[in-house]
Amino acid sequence: MRVFAFLVIILFSFIDYSFAVTRPSTEREVFFKGTNHELEVYKIYGRQDGPTMLIIGGIQGDEPGGFLSADSYADIKLEKGNLIVIPRTNFYSIMLYNREVKGVDMNRLFEQAPDDWQGDIVNKIKEYMKESDMFLNLHDGWGYHYPEHISWHKSPDRFGYSVIVDEEEYTCKDGRVLKLGEMARKAMDAANAKIPDDDPKKHYFNTETSKSTTRFKGMRKSATWYAVADLCIPAFGIEGSKNMKLDKNVLYHNYVINEFMKNLGIEIEYPNTHTYKPEFVGAVIKTGDMEKFIRGGKEITVEKGSTIKVTEIFANHKRGLTCDIMNFGNLNDIDKEYTVTKNNKIIFRKDNIVMGEVKIKAVEPKVKKAEKVVEQKVHQEEIEVQVEQQKLNNITKHEEKLTKIEPGEKYFHLLINNKDVYVKNGDSIRILDGSKVVFVKLFSAQVKDYNIAINFKGWFPDDLRSNDGDDRGYEIIFPPKNMLKKYSVRKDGKLYPVVAVDSSKNKNIAKIFVELE
């Protein structure tokens, strides 16, 4: 028995180790990718373990204070405890800016989840609830909840700007008592102390969900009631007001959330709010095997019958970004192949806000004429290009000084801090921070000046033109801005390929690698 017990201890120690998380760290998972109801989940692990809180926003899509407040917690770091953050629970309704999708309120599906996409999301939320010690559901309501009737928008009938509990106290099936009212008032009062006196204070709102006399029987189907009644987890609805300026609305949401975290024992770095106006920069669009960066408001020319695919979107926000190819797919067409048959456009949104577009110009395919191949003899002698001796201490693979070009080899000509540098096809070069770099041309001993595009993979210029894949002539200050890490060799942002592209053959004919310091 002692041996058996020892083996059991070893087994469980291995299980704990296998499922251990890295601390501190953030994990991001995306469900239902490429659909209208794409679901992003962030798990944030503190430097020390502790309680876990689940925060969701956007279960009703016309409540931006809720989903923008939740969004601001996806990037924070924790000293102690854990967060599960779902900023856009019902992304479809957010993009439509409607409370419901096709007449269905997702926050009334927790009593029994339907067998459809909304039910899939509800079941995901339930799974994350089971991992949590507290649940916050972030909303925006109309007006301001007041215990006594003052006016239409300040009354007991209004949900806005309140902290909602389903019961003052709730006794779970196992005898545990959740003191919801006490917990809510403690967090709310501390948050109200931070709100300036010339702004309204948040009010406590008990919906008395289980009582037969409740005016809010629909709450029995809500997420908070499921957490309380089925899982014995303290759960609260945090309401902002649609009648308040958005930046204040989000900030005051965060005041309450931070107090709940502190009371639960989660130590955090305070998040920033993200209510500034969305600005679309551009997108990476793949046509065939080529990827181009196209700035917002510009046009991409594509042959009819060819396919395009938006692979990456750039804006002044990181989340809630979608592209919508008109008359194709759905509201979320990222990474979908679209066959171009006529002129069209791609709309780019941040949540429900249209922030820019790219036009698609469809042109007839080029007709390749059969040409008679005529052999030609070169009567002139091949000219070997002499390369001036340089101090090339920043070339990693070349310790010898280059004095001449080897016949048959191709070289990239670069200007680094206005000095000529020549890098042989296949080699690497380390470029120091602060250097000014220009890609000049590709050439060899036989051919002094190829008219060949040079593409610094992963970089796009910071000007008003679209990037057509030719980066010759740009002065790039290292470390470069606008780098796409996914194009680096190991996806770590350290080693990037630079390719010479023969566009007539749609073929790479030479390549070097740039190592960032």
Reduced to 3 states (helix: H, G, I; strand: E, B; else coil), residue 508 is strand
**pLDDT tens figures, 11-42:** 544 444 435 788 999 999 999 999 999 999 99
Q: What is the reported pLDDT for 400?
A: 38
Residue 55: closest CA among 260, 232, 276: 260
Mean pLDDT across 335-339: 96
CB count within 10 Å of CB 214 equals 16
Domain span(s) for CATH 2.60.40 in the chain: 280-363
Separation between Cα atoms, residue 306 and residue 324, nearest integer Å: 18
Mean of all residue pLDDT scores within the chain: 86
CATH number of 280-363: 2.60.40
| Residue 392 predicted with pLDDT over 70 | no
- C-alpha 60/C-alpha 107 separation (Å) is 7
Of the two residues 345 and 507, the one the predictor is more confident about is: 345
pLDDT, tens digit (0-9, with 9 covering 90-100), for 485-502: 888 888 888 889 999 988
Mind listing the pLDDT tens digit for each residue in 225-278? 999 999 999 999 999 999 999 999 999 999 999 999 999 999 987 666 767 889
pLDDT of residue 418: 87
**CATH 3.40.630.10-classified regions of the chain:** 20-268
* Superfamily grouping for domain 20-268: Zn peptidases (3.40.630.10)
pTM of the model: 0.71
pLDDT reading at 468 higher than 80: no
Q: How far is CA 360 from CA 298, 314, 343, in A?
A: 9, 18, 6
Supply the pLDDT for residue 486. 82
Q: Are 169 and 248 in contact (CB under 8 A)?
A: no
- Checking if the pLDDT of 282 tops 70, the result is yes
The pLDDT value given to residue 304:
94
What is the phi-psi region of residue 420: left when phi exceeds 0, alpha when psi lies from -120 to 50, beta otherwise? beta
- pLDDT, position 353: 95
Q: How confident is the model at residue 381 (pLDDT cuts 50, 70, 90)?
A: very low
CA distance 104 to 126: 18
**Predicted confidence band at 384 (pLDDT cuts at 50, 70, 90)?**
very low
